[in-house]
């Protein structure tokens, strides 16, 4: 069983996995993605929104990190929270990514499949990440 797990993990890293089923659960504010290797991924909206890989969001995160501890908030605009965030649209981008359109108007986030896969919050992926560090 352990070997099987390791070989599956290896397969994920070497092969390009892609979503075979995507289910948006509005009530739970999360997306569930079934991957081509059979993995069921769980992706809360807020987690996806905060991990947005577009240049704009990366810059905002960078600035937030730089002024951590400082009291002044220079950036304006609504801060997404788990309560008011909603996914307006989910659309395929080429054959490698999903684009997400959020209700805060943001729609430049393109999530490549391998990146999306790495964002998975299911217990097994969270456990893998922790174990992988040691
Ligand atoms: Zn973004
Ligand atoms: Zn997972």
- Give the distance (Å) from ligand 2 centre to CA of residue 74: 36
User: Measured between alpha carbons, how far apart are the two ends of the chain, in Å?
Assistant: 21
Is the confidence at residue 104, as pLDDT, over 60? Answer: yes
Calculate how far, in angstroms, residue 67's C-alpha sits from the geometric centre of ligand 2. Answer: 32
> pLDDT tens-digit profile of 10-56?
555 556 789 999 999 999 999 999 999 999 999 999 999 999 999 99
For 108-127, give the DSSP string. Answer: -EEEEHHHHHHT--SHHHHH
Please report, for the domain that includes residue 64, its CATH number: 3.30.2020.30
Q: How far is the CA of 2 from the centre of ligand 1 (A)?
A: 38
How many structural domains compose the chain?
1
Phi, then psi, of 74 in degrees rounded to 5: -85, -40
> Largest Cα–Cα distance in the chain?
52
In degrees, rounded to 5, the angle at the alpha carbon of residue 102 between the alpha carbons of residues 97 and 104 is: 145
Q: Give the Å distance between the CA of 7 and the centre of ligand 1.
A: 34
Share of the chain above pLDDT 90, in %: 62
Ligand nearest the Cα of residue 39 is 2
Structural domain for 29, as ranges: 2-131
Tell me the CA–centroid distance for residue 6 and ligand 1, in Å.
33
A 10 A CB-CB count for 40 gives: 13
Q: What is the pLDDT of residues 63-80, one digit of tens each?
A: 988 876 555 554 555 566
């Amino acid at each position: 069983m352990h070997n099987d797990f390791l070989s599956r993990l290896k397969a994920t890293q070497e092969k390009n996995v892609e979503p075979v089923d995507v289910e948006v659960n509005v009530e739970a504010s999360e997306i569930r993605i079934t991957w081509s290797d059979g993995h069921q991924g769980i992706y809360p909206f807020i987690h996806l929104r905060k991990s947005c890989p577009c240049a704009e969001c990366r810059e905002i995160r960078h600035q937030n990190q730089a002024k951590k501890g400082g009291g002044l908030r220079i950036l304006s605009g609504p801060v997404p929270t788990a309560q008011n965030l909603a996914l307006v649209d989910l659309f395929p981008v080429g054959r490698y990514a999903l684009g997400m359109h959020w209700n805060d108007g943001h729609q430049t986030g393109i999530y490549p499949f391998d990146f999306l896969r790495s964002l998975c919050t299911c217990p097994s992926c969270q456990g893998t990440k922790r174990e992988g560090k040691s």
